[in-house]
């Protein structure tokens, strides 16, 4: 079994893939006990072709293709199901969070005798003020609603032991997966460790959700609806 599996969902990220794969090589060269699973989450651009061309000879990268996009969370869940690692993780393909941050997070597990009881997550630095305001508002809301301290819920990477993943029950298939994993870690009384990560601008393209007030509105609406449902389930 591999020590670490890194899940990277990508949707229409063909222009970012050369940079991403190059960074994957650098990370894999630092630790041979890592597998990287890149999930093509139903892309309708050249992502499948570019991904195949760039990774066909790289044994440490596994490619997973989802024909029809069913949500951000669905892509991650498919990747997690294919993973062979003891420690599971996910991060983004847009290079706004450095893939190397996963190795920083792995240090928490390497120095812990009971790694099954850990949940590790980045904490973003250097974000635009409007995004920080949004994060503060959502963090306060989720903390009050779910009665667990929640902060910077969508920060990456997200890391945990395989045994924690096997306890999940009907996880969401959209962006609420970040919230679900974080909340379940708190509810399960795992030791939550946060560490600072630099949040950079995208190298290419635009975000698939954070592009306008309307997209943020729909994201907030979906998250609120899921949060109320989660609160009812966990009573």
Name all domains of the chain by residue range, CATH numbers in brackets: 2-125+156-205 (3.90.550.10)
Whole-number pLDDT of residue 206:
57
From the centroid of its chain, how far is CA 10?
Answer: 11
Give every residue of the chain whose pLDDT is below 70, as ranges: 1-2, 202-213, 216, 235
Whole-number pLDDT of residue 212:
57
Q: Report the phi/psi class of residue 202: left, alpha or beta, with left for phi > 0 and alpha for psi in -120 to 50.
A: beta
Whole-number pLDDT of residue 218:
74
Whole-number pLDDT of residue 112:
78
Whole-number pLDDT of residue 131:
86
Whole-number pLDDT of residue 202:
63
Whole-number pLDDT of residue 134:
87
Q: For the whole model, what pTM was predicted?
A: 0.91
């Amino acid at each position: 079994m591999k020590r670490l599996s890194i899940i990277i969902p990508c949707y229409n990220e063909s222009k970012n893939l050369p940079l991403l794969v190059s960074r994957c090589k650098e990370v894999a060269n630092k630790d041979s006990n890592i597998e990287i699973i890149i999930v093509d989450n139903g892309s309708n651009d050249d992502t499948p072709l570019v991904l195949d061309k760039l990774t066909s000879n790289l044994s440490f990268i596994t490619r997973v293709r989802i024909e029809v996009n069913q949500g951000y969370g669905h892509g991650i869940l498919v990747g997690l199901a294919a993973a062979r690692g003891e420690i599971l993780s996910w991060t983004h393909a847009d290079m706004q969070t450095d893939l190397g941050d996963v190795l920083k997070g792995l240090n928490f597990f390497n120095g812990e005798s009971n790694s099954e009881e850990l949940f590790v997550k980045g904490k973003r630095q250097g974000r635009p003020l409007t995004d920080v305001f949004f994060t503060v508002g959502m963090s306060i809301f989720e903390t009050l609603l779910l009665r667990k301290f929640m902060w910077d819920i969508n920060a990456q990477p997200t890391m945990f032991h395989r045994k924690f993943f096997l306890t999940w029950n009907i996880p969401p298939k959209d962006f609420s997966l970040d919230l679900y994993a974080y909340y379940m870690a708190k509810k399960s009384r795992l030791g939550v460790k946060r560490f600072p990560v630099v949040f950079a601008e995208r190298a290419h393209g635009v975000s698939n959700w954070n592009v306008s007030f309307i997209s943020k509105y729909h994201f907030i609406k979906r998250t609120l609806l899921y949060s109320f449902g989660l609160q009812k389930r966990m009573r």
